[in-house]
Structure 1
Amino acid sequence: MAPPSVAAFTDTYLPTVNGVSYTIQTWRDRWRDRGGRMSIVYPGSDEYDPTSEEYPVGSLPFPMYEGFRLGTPKIPSAVNDVDVVHAHTPFAVGLGGVRLARREDIPLITSYHTPTAEYADYLTSRPRVERGIERVAERYERWFLSRSDAVVFPSEDARDRAVSETDIDAPTVVLSNGVDVEFFAPTDVEAFHNRYDLPTGPLLGYTGRHGYEKNLSEFLRAAEGLDATIVLGGDGPARAELEALAADLDLDAHFLGFLPREELPAFYTALDAFVFPSPVETQGLVALEANACGTPVVAIDAGALANTVEDGVTGYHYTPGDVSDCRATIEQVLDESASLAASCLARREQLSVEHAVDRLASLYERVVGKKRA
């Protein structure tokens, strides 16, 4: 019997490079491998040509967030004949998913990737206005999630925060996004070193969005005085200030910009420690990708990272806001790098996206069966 057919609606997809877009693409590929169909509805862009089972809808660029596009709640005719809708966004494209689920009387699953209120700081810099937007966003988020047959969270912390802030009236499921451990694996790094002219010696790094909410300045301040090179992949609104701070601190820092996906395994493998100071993660997928490549993580003890990283096994935590503790934790990870790398590699299979898709399949079958009962 073929797996349930799925229509995934998302406001974030390729060519935008982030954990959400790659998670959706990887789940689609694994679903296809199992003989299932997972169609993806996303905001169209001239920079990306859709492949099979990808259906762009009209969109406009979002001026406050480079790379993000505002889609329309359109339902492509090709995705009408499905068994379940999976919304990865509460915004316009996600509303198309809600409409399809209602019209066809099929289950709606919603993945909670980012709290809606966190987008308020992209719209205004005035604290009072921002708080008002956050309150409206939380009410809207509660309305959207209440229409779901189940809400999927990538971590316990994300679920606990969402339940306390929005009082979700829908069943909740904690399901890791999973890591493609066939792709994210230790690899040769000589070509990567040469391409980016990286020196020998300890490398400390991070890749992802350079947003102010990611708290990357704490990483740079903690690196002051350490005999190590800083390597940052990615881009974002805070990059210019981070480059200036690195210069002020006289750090040997290399800002690489957005890295092609095929370079990420070499990037992670090249690092002696991945430093992750962001307190706002709902899972922190890049930490798991680093672990899959044998690289331990220095993680802030806040948000989902409090649970994503296991002290003494896949890295260590430091106290939020304590630069000295962050520096000491970096030094501890560097001192124990060999044993931590070994324990990271021993846990690779536990991170596998196959386990995540197994649980996703069980969820789909359960909600479809309940709807048809």
Structure 2
Amino acid sequence: MQVLHINQSDITGGAAIAVHRLHQGLLAQGIDSRLLVDIVTTSSDRVAAIPPRRRLDYQIRRLTKHLGFNDIHLTSTFEIAKHPFYQAADVLHFHNLHSGYFNYLALPSLTKNKPAILTLHDMWGITGHCAYSFDCDRWKIGCGNCPYPDTYPPIQRDNTYLEWKLKHWAYSHSHLVAVATTSHWLAEQAKQSMLGRLPVHHIPYSIDTQAYQPLDPELCRSLLGITRGKKVLMFGAQSLTNPRKGGDLLLKALSGLPDSLKSEIVLLIMGNRGEKMVESLGIPSLNLGFVGSDRLKAIAYSAADLFLFPTRADAFGLVAQEAMACATPVVSFKVGGVPDIVRPGITGYLAQPEDASDFSAGIMQLLEDQALRDRLGQQSREIILEEYALEVQAQRYLQLYGKVLDS
């Protein structure tokens, strides 16, 4: 079986990392898996770039962008059918189709002679423009009058009703056989959407449990230069720089911690531009900057007492999964697909949405109870091994590919 994944990048971004892990899991099962992407950063004969048509696409974009459409200017998408990866594929597996590289109007022609599935990594595939609709459910009835035109990916004009119609037309005229989602929450959204006529399968992300595994906490802290005896709270810098990731809620929650507890804490930040935003808290911080190595990330997660994930909207929670694989409990909000993996009293603490005080209470509860943290960490690791190993996800997709081919 030859499977072709089409995505925005090979490893840049959460969805890309998830797709690459699936790719590796399929290869381990003996499947001929290949990636066709916009941005290539790895070196592999199984990964290739979609040939661009920059000059022509740019000219068309000058018109369509002004009209409120982000992607329908991309004529290069129609050239995918000429690529050797496409021609050899038995099954097409579409992933994130936004981010300015794919024209969804090409779906009917690309799937005319090849069956395909679509994995939703966010809500973009079922809305009139946005990756997350927050409290808006107009995507169920056709969008229009968008309350969040500036949310990612932003639009210059509200033509969301027409874009919703165009997506519906593209799906209706495509040989899409099934939809997969990363969480139960997203599966329920898909069933209520324009894609609801298709079978919807819940297949969560997987993780390399050898690369991400618990390491000696004291040794990891020593390697990172963290003073012995400190309590370590870890989070991603993106939480501070992306409003959807809840940086304002995180800062409020940390500000609300007692001064006596603050004096015992070190903030461990992974990613760029995070340290200046926490200066006002009066809590020492260590910023690791961008960390691309799985091994270095495992060291950081293992050094932490808790991983903080203050997201406002997420389809799953890839970083929470990574932390749990390293036996680090997670504090997050009860939103989107997060409850699938952050399970109260089992793998971490879930605060009520938008409630920074509740988030702060969760941090305090877990920091003050070493035995509870140890138990949650151990249970987190066990759940990752049982439910989220690479081979588990690969086998579930293999079963779905089989159904696709049988159809």
TM-score by length of 2: 0.76
Q: Tell me, what secondary structure is at the counterpart of 1:254?
A: strand
1:138-157 alignment, distance < 5 Å = 138-146=164-172, 147=174, 148-157=176-185
User: CA separation in 1, counterparts of 2:331 and 2:160?
Assistant: 30
Contact 2:215/2:302 (8 A) holds in 1: yes
Structure 1 residue 196, shift from structure 2 partner? 4.4
Cross-structure match for 2:251? 220
1:304-353: CA deviation from partner (whole Å, max 9, x where unpaired):
11232111110111111212111111112222212211222232322212
**The one of 103, 106, 109 aligned to 2:114:** 106
Contact 2:186/2:315 (8 A) holds in 1: yes
Q: Tell me, what secondary structure is at the counterpart of 1:184?
A: coil
User: CA separation in 2, counterparts of 1:168 and 1:23?
Assistant: 24
Cross-structure match for 1:40? 35
Paired amino acid for 1:33: A
User: CA separation in 1, counterparts of 2:287 and 2:153?
Assistant: 27
Alignment of 1:354 with 2:391, yes or no, is yes
Alignment of 1:363 with 2:400, yes or no, is yes
Q: Tell me, what secondary structure is at the counterpart of 2:331?
A: strand
Cross-structure match for 1:54? 47
User: CA separation in 2, counterparts of 1:247 and 1:180?
Assistant: 35
Q: RMSD of aligned C-alpha atoms?
A: 2.9
Cross-structure match for 1:65? none
User: CA separation in 1, counterparts of 2:222 and 2:341?
Assistant: 32
User: CA separation in 2, counterparts of 1:23 and 1:275?
Assistant: 20
User: CA separation in 2, counterparts of 1:309 and 1:133?
Assistant: 37
Assess, with a 3 A threshold, how the Cα gap between structure 1 residues 143 and 278 changes in structure 2: closer, same or farther.
Answer: farther
User: CA separation in 2, counterparts of 1:294 and 1:231?
Assistant: 16
Paired amino acid for 1:77: P
Alignment of 1:234 with 2:241, yes or no, is no
Contact 1:158/1:304 (8 A) holds in 2: yes
Contact 1:43/1:71 (8 A) holds in 2: no
Alignment of 1:12 with 2:9, yes or no, is yes
**The one of 356, 360, 363 aligned to 1:330:** 363
User: CA separation in 2, counterparts of 1:79 and 1:197?
Assistant: 49
Cross-structure match for 2:200? 172
Q: Which runs of 5+ in 2 are unaligned?
A: 59-73, 132-149
Contact 1:292/1:344 (8 A) holds in 2: yes
More divergent stretch after superposition (309-318 vs 226-235): 226-235
Alignment of 1:121 with 2:151, yes or no, is yes
Contact 1:10/1:87 (8 A) holds in 2: yes
1:271-310 alignment, distance < 5 Å = 271-310=304-343
Total equivalences in the alignment: 346
**The one of 253, 260, 265 aligned to 2:292:** 260
User: CA separation in 1, counterparts of 2:342 and 2:160?
Assistant: 29
Cross-structure match for 1:313? 346
Cross-structure match for 1:67? none
Q: Which runs of 5+ in 1 are unaligned?
A: 63-69
Paired amino acid for 1:174: H
Percent sequence identity is 22
Cross-structure match for 1:343? 379
Cross-structure match for 2:278? 246
TM-score by length of 1: 0.83
1:56-71 alignment, distance < 5 Å = 56-59=49-52
Cross-structure match for 2:97? 90
